[in-house]
Amino acid sequence: MPELLFQPGRIKRLELRNRVVRSATFEGMATDEGLPTDRLRDLYCRLAEAEVGLIITCGATIEAWQKRPSALGALSPLAIYDDRFIEPWPEIVDAVHAKGAKLALQIGHNGRMEPPELRESPPLAPSVVPIEATGVIPREMTRNDIAEVVELFGQACGRAKAAGFDAVEFHGAHGNLITNFMSPFTNHRDDEYGGSVDNRARFPVEVVRRCRELVGPDYPLLMKMSFDDFIPGGLRVEDAVRIAALLAVAGLDGIEVSGGTLSESKERIAVKGIAKSIQEAYFRAYGKALKERVDIPVILVGGMRSPEVVEEVLRQGAADFISLCRPLIREPELVQRWKGGDRRKAACISCNQCYDNWMFRPLRCYVEEPLET
């Protein structure tokens, strides 16, 4: 049995029973309005009972759209842009706690990737950089826009604390608004929010600082970050590590290491066909680079399938926690199986059918029950 994986861990004041994190993934189990359903509660409780340490929800929206995703034939994410979204959560958080796990709410803004049909206007972005695959042209944010979105993040974070969540994770990966500001590919501004690395870090730093003001000094704040856009002129690990260090000074308590963008390099976010151990932990080098720069906990996601690789990552100091997504879709009891001594690798074959269908069907594995055509 891996020794480090099942040791207790700590993120600020948050005590976790082991080093396993369920990485945020779009479950498609919210109401059309963005409220949690019984099905979503049952999923979190099943993961908690199967001994996952920290469960991170799918990204919750921080502002209301003019139209709901159902108008586009898509499922709705969670929402946290109004106080009415607080009420259902304490019961769910308590149920997860009763089974030994902790629950964090991920919050985010889609930035230039937001469908203009939902907003009924061009999506917001630091600069006007079209998405080649869709032809969407975003609108460059004014300073007033930036201040308003920072406050939206702050209010959403305050609601998450009021709802009983153990932590908040900001979604700063995969080409969303926070990533857009960090990346020189999408940030061409010539004011204090663009240009140098420190300027490109200014927006996420302001988000963290405002949230810290509203939730106090002890509430855990995390961020999922891309450390490589995998596109010419995009964010690279050297800049990302510098930005992460600035975020830690601003009050961030932990960073989940990821990479890629949904708009330009989707295939690098969740790599297909992981069959050999050498293909696993494909963001490991970024985790190690980050660990050498910051003193806050590092969470590593990306293709880990075997307990031997997980243990190696922890022992090498590439991460403090391991984050799993696709393996827990196929096999929710994976952590429990490993802890019980069954050291076979995860059953997930990285076919990415769950990833390919995530916006239009509730989360599930398609291997045993292929999608009907």
Domain extents for the chain? 9-356
Banded pLDDT at 373 (limits 50, 70, 90): very low
Residue the block writes with tokens 């979105």: 149
- Judged against a pLDDT cut of 70, whether residue 370 lies above it is answered with yes
At residue 372 the predicted structure's pLDDT band, cuts being 50, 70 and 90, is low
Across 26-54, b (16+ Cβ under 10 Å) vs e yields: bbbbbeeebbbeeebbebbbebbbbbbbb
* Whether the Cβ atoms of residue 71 and residue 117 lie closer than 8 Å to each other: yes
Query: What local confidence, expressed as pLDDT, does residue 350 receive?
Result: 96
Q: Does the structure show a pLDDT above 80 at 361?
A: yes
The string of pLDDT tens digits covering residues 108-167 is 999 999 999 999 999 999 999 999 999 999 999 999 999 999 999 999 999 999 999 999
Closest by CA to 333, choosing from 50, 55, 52, 20, is 50
Cα-based distances in Å from 358 to 157, 163, 175, 218, 268: 25, 26, 17, 34, 16
Q: Which CATH architecture has domain 9-356?
A: Alpha-Beta Barrel (3.20)
Note whether 85 and 158 are within 8 A (CB). no
Checking if the pLDDT of 369 tops 80, the result is no
pLDDT at 368: 81
pLDDT score for 3? 84
Supply angle C-alpha 74, 367, 302, rounded to 5: 75
**In the predicted model, what is the mean pLDDT of residues 56-80?**
96
Instruction: Please tell me the predicted confidence (pLDDT) of residue 174.
Output: 97
Q: How far apart are CA 148 and CA 179, in angstroms?
A: 17
Q: Which pLDDT score is estimated for 304?
A: 97
Mean pLDDT, the chain, integer: 96
